[in-house]
Structure 1
Amino acid sequence: MNEADLILLPDKGAAKSDLIDLRRAICDHALTGPVRVVEFAMPERDAAAAYAHAVDDWHAAIAAQWRACIAEHLPAGGRLALLVWGDPSLYDSTLRIAERLEAGGQPLRVRVVPGLTSIQLLTAAHAIPLNALAGAVTITTGRLLRAHGWPGDADTAVVMLDAGCAFEVLAPQGVSIWWGAYLGMAQEVLIHGPLAEAAPRIAAQRAELRARHGWIMDVYLMRKEQADAK
């Protein structure tokens, strides 16, 4: 971060102010030199439009915001840094949006500084391994879980970007779930148990937390019991 000339922080509005507040706190703690920190209004995805089209438009709008910030604050070029929540390799679009800048003629050299993923934080918080013994793991989304059910022959499924408790579509027998929200933050909440028993608790807790904070980011791991017995 201290090697950057400019750090961009996305402002997602008052309802999600915790997210930018944490980024501000990280900058206050980590920066030791005169690095410029600029906040920009994060565009919103059109939830009413078809998903793929809405995401494409959303990414284009974010790229336009980045271009405007670069033109204003780094007109002669320099080093731009973005603080990615989670991991840019796991269902995150930061790197895809950066490709749009390059495709638009913006010369780029991208470097990713690895950090902790939400999956690492989830398994650490619950003190569990990611995989069952010699078992396969599939990382998927709530949208795909709802559309297709349990993913293939995996013993363990990690579900991200679930806006509506997609685990409720599964037959719960023989499945355990480890769920976490606001991982790594002061308001972190964890629930674990057999899916049949834990699912209603997670749904109720999730709704209450979303109402209280105005936003929620959560992830969960599910494992079939026979995988643990191998």
Structure 2
Amino acid sequence: MIELDLIGIGTGNPDHLTGQAIRAMNEADLILLPRKGDAKSDLIDLRRGICANVLTSSTRVVEFDLPVRDAAGDYHEAVGEWHDAIAAAWKTRIALHLPDGGRLALLVWGDPSLYDSSLRISEKLRAGGMAIDVRVLPGITSIQALTAAHAIPLNALAEPVIITTGRKLREHGWPQDADSVVVMLDGGCAFDTLDPQGIEIWWGAYLGMARQALVHGPLAKAAPRIVEARKALRERHGWIMDSYLMRRDMRHGT
């Protein structure tokens, strides 16, 4: 039996870890850390730093190369194949380092429940016949970090919030009957496809990190600043993690 802990680590700031997360890391027999290539080398460095800061036990830490997703072809098919490859990589390391079972921990950016595939990948292991018991230890989401950084509420008074992706925003536009929209996983500034009239945006990159960058204002004025900032930050660091909240004055319609 493999006891798998999916531990939300927020944005990589050790101060964001819960006491439960720290205990789980120290109780684990093995922690697997994925490497995502040279361009994102500081992502693995952040995970290494977290382990160095909180581990006081004999927990083993093992790194592995994360499979690369094929960006061509059908999106859902490509993601499904990518998840299969990641599940196979996990299975290989489990067989090598926990042949008799034990407790495995994976450090998940944000929270495992929100736009992360660790839970789906773990189901592939179970479907493949592995005896696995999954426990989720929640962490700070990028949405929490974003609203905290801007010191704003997530929702308008008594109104709902839609959480979507850049791809969905680009394909379908502003979600119907929503005045507040959170956008994640946007690699192409999908807000540029919207009519900016009556829209305010709060954008943040590297939230909770020392390099945190924020932009806020009417979309018409803020959008060019965000596009420029994203380009400069990506060139400087080789990668970028960002998200944003937009609020619309519903008097302008949907």
- Identify the TM-score tier after normalising by the shorter chain: over 0.9
Q: Deviations over 1:89-133 (max 9, x none)?
A: 111100000000000011111111111010000000000000001
Question: Amino acid of the residue matched to residue 96 of structure 1?
Answer: R
1:11 is aligned to 35
1:150 is aligned, of 174, 192, 195, to: 174
Give the whole-Å Cα distance in 1 for the aligned partners of 2:72 and 2:232. Answer: 24
2:224 is aligned to 200
Give the whole-Å Cα distance in 1 for the aligned partners of 2:44 and 2:210. Answer: 15
1:73 is aligned, of 97, 106, 127, to: 97
Number of aligned residue pairs: 227
1:174 is aligned to 198
1:102 aligns with 2:126: yes
The 5 Å alignment of 1:124-163 reads 124-163=148-187
Give the whole-Å Cα distance in 2 for the aligned partners of 1:182 and 1:72. Answer: 34
1:57 aligns with 2:96: no
Give the whole-Å Cα distance in 2 for the aligned partners of 1:20 and 1:186. Answer: 16
1:210 aligns with 2:210: no
Shift of 1:225: 3.0
Question: Amino acid of the residue matched to residue 127 of structure 1?
Answer: A
**What runs of 5+ residues in structure 1 fail to find an aligned partner?**
none
Shift of 1:49: 2.2
Give the whole-Å Cα distance in 2 for the aligned partners of 1:101 and 1:141. Answer: 27
Normalised to the residue count of structure 1, the TM-score between the two structures is 0.97
1:188 is aligned, of 212, 230, 253, to: 212
- Please, what is the CA RMSD of the aligned residues? 0.9
2:66 is aligned, of 29, 39, 42, to: 42
Question: Amino acid of the residue matched to residue 221 of structure 2?
Answer: E
Q: Secondary structure at the match of 2:49?
A: helix
Q: Secondary structure at the match of 1:215?
A: coil
Question: Amino acid of the residue matched to residue 61 of structure 1?
Answer: A
Which stretches of structure 1, 4 residues or more, deviate above 3 A after TM superposition? Answer: none
Q: Secondary structure at the match of 1:2?
A: helix
Question: Amino acid of the residue matched to residue 203 of structure 1?
Answer: V
Q: Deviations over 1:147-201 (max 9, x none)?
A: 0000111110000000100000111010000000011111110100000000011
Question: Amino acid of the residue matched to residue 49 of structure 1?
Answer: G
Shift of 1:18: 1.2
Question: Amino acid of the residue matched to residue 210 of structure 1?
Answer: R
Shift of 1:87: 1.4
Greater relative CO (CA pairs within 8 A, separation 6+): 2
Higher strand proportion (structure 1 or 2): 2
Give the whole-Å Cα distance in 2 for the aligned partners of 1:64 and 1:185. Answer: 32
Q: Deviations over 1:190-215 (max 9, x none)?
A: 10000000001101110111111111
Give the whole-Å Cα distance in 2 for the aligned partners of 1:151 and 1:81. Answer: 37
Shift of 1:139: 0.1
Q: Secondary structure at the match of 1:204?
A: helix
1:111 is aligned to 135
Question: Amino acid of the residue matched to residue 7 of structure 1?
Answer: I
